[in-house]
Structure 1
Amino acid sequence: MKIPVTIHVAGSRYDQRRCVAGFTLIELLVVISIIGVLLSLSLSGVQAAREAARRAQCSNHLRQLGLGLHQFHGIFDTLPLGNDRLYGRNQSWSSAILAQIEQTAIAESYDRSVAWDEPLRNASLISAVIPTFRCPSSIFDGEGDTDYAGVMGSALASERANAGIDLNNGVLISSTPVRLRPVSFSEIIDGTSNTIFLAEVVDRMPDSYGLWADGRNTISHDNGGINLENSGEIFSFHRGGAQVALCDGAVRFLSESTDVNLIGALCSRYGYELVNEFFAH
């Protein structure tokens, strides 16, 4: 089907009409389809580039937090407790390193000797939005949220060691009546390059466990894989996996296909597992 074009010649005694060759309807539809495909590819490329930038920024945040923990250890010769539960205060590792991540103003006002949400001293501070605690790929962050959890340990690793269930065999442990003191680097038997400091747990549920000031923003790996659920396992909105900070300061990307036993090995500090070969690939 040809689309006719009528041309009127001014000053002519008669209208002179002629049919000029144009696009067929099919050709027009093909062109429109090609343009649509090109636009779709262009948008996909833009989205991929944006996510790559967000992932890089997330990696930088984890690296800063890991450096903050190293600086804390350099000052006190020990790491902070992941959750200091003494007297029910539930103080977090996050608040312990505020001064080390350039949040001096909050650090000077925040009182770690009382409950994390103590109404008179801390309640006005815990809603602070601290960018270093946020993954830019998160879509539900609110006031006071964090997308990074301290790793307390792994139930799988303790079971393999025939030591019963020990959820406190990691690095940023929770204080208990049996052990009140935190971990030092000398206690990381598996090596700092084989042990996770921090992991993404983006938009954690319940929401109160995803607040930077709340000591319950720690996790113990049970048997969950990467990106399966965000109530207490490693989870992110990055395509294909999630990022973790190791105790040597490195940040690694764990794919969704990572074996749960390997995740458990990385989350424990004294399981005597060797995982360097995994990171070499």
Structure 2
Amino acid sequence: MNFHPLRSCRNAFTLLELLVVIAIIGILVALLLPAVQTAREAARRTQCSNNMKQIGLAVHNYHGMHRCVPTTTTGPDSSGGNCGSGFYSWLAMVLPFVEQGNLYDKIDFDRSLSDHCNFRYSSDYLNYGIGPNHPNADAARTLVDTYLCPSDPAGVVQFHDGGEQLAPGSYAANVGWPMLSSWPGDSRPLERQNGVFGLFNPSQPEPWHVPKVKFRDVTDGLSNTAAIAERKISVIFVVQSPFGGSYVSEEVDENMQSFCGSSIRARSLDRWVPYCGSVTHGDPGYVKKHGHSWISGWTFAANTYMHVMPIGERNCHTYGGESIGNNLVTPGSYHVGGVHVLMADGSVDFRSESIDLRLWWAMGSGNGGEVLANLE
């Protein structure tokens, strides 16, 4: 008779072994997840930069055809009592050059992009909307991927009261410095726009506007002057004050808030910064639609920006600037450390939030004679 030693059979893990395996997997995931997220953000950041390069090429092609940079109209053409064209952004103008010719053809540019054209006073410009029955409502809610930075989580159709649906955009055009501002130490107030993109209100012409900017007007050099920058799409939370009125919650990213910058008056850029920074609460009426409508030339759609506040910091508005686009919108992004800036020559650079302010101000001016090499 043959005898065999007993053999134990194991067909499963012990509980301890299972817990060890789970712990190891958890550690690996914890180590890999930041790397995956970093890789994804790097891809989104690259796509964002590529979008800006496409838009820059579109602007140059537009200039080649029309002999000027596309203009944003900040009001309607209500001359003669008629409600004509107006309220269209520069982004709407370059649609054919970003392979969106069909969308461009759907827009009736002879109709004002607003539900009404009764804009007699500057304060009337806060009462603006593109309702669902507007002839161009369908175009207004059409997302254009090229106009969206994939790093911004708010890049979806925005829904508002009254059925208004608007497609957002992440990029704003440089219109220079605020009206009547000046370089530090220079007492001469700015009387004409000094950015790359022009503004125009057909019903209320403003001497500060330069409706048709040409590249030859950028005498500081196209490679030295900023043309387009990233701007966050606003997501705000409104707080009702017990004493009446409302304000933006302090928990909201300050770069999504707009603070009162008083009325239009002469200030040097170095005085604008602390003045804007001293206001306590953001005003929801001036910021709730920042970035919410790529198609709109309305001042508070914020498809234009100014070189005043440091990158990533607050926006400020001026009472009296509602109708003319005199709005201190500040570039910002979800990228770590700064924003992409498209220079007027078509190149894209990543600019740090810690950029020297004098250099940032000089980049916003196309014809002031500031030499960037002396400021860097």
Q: Which TM-score applies when normalising by structure 1?
A: 0.80
Paired residue type of 1:153: G
Deviations 1:102-155 (A, max 9, x none): 101111121223322455431221110000010000011232100101111124
Equivalents in 2 of 1:201, 1:37: separation in Å? 37
The aligned counterpart of 1:151 is: 174
Tell me the C-alpha RMSD between the 2 structures. 3.1
Q: Secondary structure at the match of 1:258?
A: coil
Equivalents in 1 of 2:231, 2:87: separation in Å? 19
The aligned counterpart of 1:18 is: none
Larger radius of gyration: 1
The aligned counterpart of 2:332 is: 235
Structure 2 CA distance for partners of 1:200 and 1:133, relative to 1, 3 Å: same
Q: Residue 220 of structure 1: which of 299, 303, 306 is its match?
A: 306
Structure 2 CA distance for partners of 1:164 and 1:136, relative to 1, 3 Å: same
The aligned counterpart of 2:325 is: none
Q: Residue 174 of structure 1: which of 199, 210, 216 is its match?
A: 199
1:209 matched to 2:290? The reply is yes
Please tell me whether the aligned partners of residues 203 and 230 of structure 1 are also in contact (alpha carbons under 8 angstroms).
no
Q: Residue 91 of structure 1: which of 88, 91, 98 is its match?
A: 88
Please tell me whether the aligned partners of residues 190 and 273 of structure 1 are also in contact (alpha carbons under 8 angstroms).
yes
Alignment of 1:115-154 (within 5 A): 115-117=112-114, 119-143=133-157, 144-154=167-177
Structure 2 CA distance for partners of 1:180 and 1:174, relative to 1, 3 Å: same
Alignment of 1:50-129 (within 5 A): 50-85=40-75, 87=77, 89-117=86-114, 119-129=133-143
Q: Which TM-score applies when normalising by structure 2?
A: 0.61
Gaps of at least 5 residues in structure 2 are 7-15, 79-85, 116-132, 158-166, 235-255, 257-286, 317-328
Please tell me whether the aligned partners of residues 358 and 375 of structure 2 are also in contact (alpha carbons under 8 angstroms).
no
The aligned counterpart of 1:199 is: 229
The aligned counterpart of 2:269 is: none
Deviations 1:243-269 (A, max 9, x none): 111110001101111122221111111
Gaps of at least 5 residues in structure 1 are 1-9, 13-24
Q: Secondary structure at the match of 1:49?
A: helix
Equivalents in 1 of 2:315, 2:334: separation in Å? 10
Q: Secondary structure at the match of 1:228?
A: coil
How much does 1:165 deviate? 4.9
Deviations 1:198-238 (A, max 9, x none): 1100213524331111113211232x212224672010000
Identity, in percent, stands at: 35
Q: Residue 48 of structure 1: which of 11, 14, 38 is its match?
A: 38
Q: Secondary structure at the match of 1:154?
A: coil
Paired residue type of 2:36: V
Please tell me whether the aligned partners of residues 182 and 188 of structure 2 are also in contact (alpha carbons under 8 angstroms).
yes
Structure 2 CA distance for partners of 1:269 and 1:132, relative to 1, 3 Å: same
Equivalents in 2 of 1:46, 1:230: separation in Å? 33
Equivalents in 2 of 1:264, 1:30: separation in Å? 58
Please tell me whether the aligned partners of residues 158 and 271 of structure 1 are also in contact (alpha carbons under 8 angstroms).
no
Structure 2 CA distance for partners of 1:167 and 1:209, relative to 1, 3 Å: farther
The worse-fitting range, judged by mean Cα deviation, of 225-234 and 75-84 is 225-234
The aligned counterpart of 2:249 is: none
